[in-house]
Amino acid sequence: MGKWFMPDEGEPHDRTWMAFGPSEEVWGADLLPRVREDLARIANAVARFEPVTMLVRSEDRALAEELCDEGVELVETAMDDLWIRDTGPCFVLSDEGSLGAVDLNFNGWGEKQEYDQDALVARFLARRSGATYIETDVVGEGGGIEVDGHGTAIITESCFVNANRNPGRSRTHIEAELTKRLGPRKIIWLPGIAGKDITDGHTDFYARFVRPGVVVAALDTDPRSFDHAVTLTHLEILKDATDADGRQLEIVTLTAPADIRTEFAGDDFAAGYINFYVCNGAVIAPQFGDAKADAAAKHTLERLFPGRTVVQLDIDGIAAGGGGIHCATQQQPKV
């Protein structure tokens, strides 16, 4: 098959995968309806720009059909939750033009949540997309990996070098395995922060590639936040880093909102702009009701992604569960 590599998210997609998978058991009766509406809102927004395939349980199909536009294809399968960025595979391409799907052996973010059905989603997507199924001995999630498609990856140690996922495995081993499966020539490791959220600090809430050499990074200015110190540390590491081609990284910051709408606010609420999703011709991004910060984030994204439409969505239900738009989507690159 030749050498595999994971393309940048901004490269053309064949489709976006999503999962209509929240349950009352995980989300609670009060939050569940709103989370389902948020998922459909994201799917409908992406479907304006590229095909969307939404996984759905058979018993939820009628509701999904009601909430989703006709442009969203529904495919029935079992699942435990909605986070397809983590449960789905990392899609890769070969230098010979084949599609592959790397299964990162999802284990509920270190056994924190039921995952028996979600553990099978990566294999299901590989089969459904016609991709070559690629196994690895590393446990992790797509949300913990960010790539520029040209040899550089950013990965959080708190996620991958963690005994709840890869006990006894060194960073060197994990780096070698991910290099073999995903193709980066250089990995920039960020410390992240373990034990504060269910993911143990995924990269896609801290740093994202805009293009090779340009990274947009989160800045939490609230000294009371557990993310305050870690975002400052990440910025220092990124400013000193070079990519696989020896290029000094240009760092642009996106500051978290100072205020959020109160209806779904809570300790797990993920209020940050970094968890956007880049699809064909658009950037799908959150807004949180802080008019000044929302507008600043949109302006920055429009500047960073010229030629793409920036669509901002209210995703407070999903954010209340600690996730975002990127967490709920998975791109299948065009072969």
Please give the chain's pLDDT, 335 residues, in tens: 569 999 999 999 999 999 999 999 999 999 999 999 999 999 999 999 999 999 999 999 999 999 999 999 999 999 999 999 999 999 999 989 899 999 999 999 999 999 999 999 999 999 999 999 999 999 999 999 999 999 999 999 999 999 999 999 999 999 999 999 999 999 999 999 999 999 999 999 999 999 999 999 998 888 888 888 999 999 999 999 999 999 999 999 999 998 999 899 888 899 999 999 999 999 999 999 999 999 999 999 999 999 999 999 999 999 999 999 999 999 999 99
Q: 299: left (phi > 0), else alpha (psi -120 to 50), else beta?
A: alpha
Amino acid 220: pLDDT: 84
Residues annotated catalytic, as ranges: 327
Q: DSSP character for 34?
A: H
| CA-derived radius of gyration, the chain | 18
Helices (H), 220-325: 226-240, 291-304, 316-320
Using CA atoms, how far apart are residues 28 and 39, in angstroms rounded to an integer? 16
Strands 99-102 and 90-94: antiparallel
Write down the domain spans for the chain.
Answer: 4-333
| Torsion, Cα of 50, 51, 54, 59 (10° steps) | 130
Using CA atoms, how far apart are residues 290 and 256, in angstroms rounded to an integer? 10
Class of domain 4-333 as given by CATH: alpha beta
Using CA atoms, how far apart are residues 262 and 102, in angstroms rounded to an integer? 39
Q: 186: left (phi > 0), else alpha (psi -120 to 50), else beta?
A: beta
Which one-letter amino acid corresponds to residue 81? Answer: D
- Taking a C-beta distance cutoff of 8 angstroms, is the pair 4, 183 a contact? yes
- Taking a C-beta distance cutoff of 8 angstroms, is the pair 43, 288 a contact? no
Residue 10 has, within 13 A of its CA and on its CB side, a CA count of: 20
Amino acid 223: pLDDT: 82
- Taking a C-beta distance cutoff of 8 angstroms, is the pair 157, 171 a contact? yes
Using CA atoms, how far apart are residues 23 and 63, in angstroms rounded to an integer? 13
- Taking a C-beta distance cutoff of 8 angstroms, is the pair 123, 103 a contact? yes
Instruction: Please report, in angstroms and rounded to a whole number, the separation of the first and last CA atoms in the chain.
Output: 14
Residue whose tokens read 């984030």:
297
C-alpha dist (Å) from residue 35 to 39, 317, 318: 6, 5, 5
Kindly state the tokens that stand for 71.
């442009």
Helix (H, G, I), strand (E, B) or coil at 75: strand
Using CA atoms, how far apart are residues 186 and 184, in angstroms rounded to an integer? 5
Kindly state the tokens that stand for 114.
């039921």
SS (H, E, C) 290-319: CHHHHHHHHHHHHHHCCCCEEEEEECHHHH
Amino acid 225: pLDDT: 82
Kindly state the tokens that stand for 211.
């293009």
- Taking a C-beta distance cutoff of 8 angstroms, is the pair 43, 72 a contact? yes
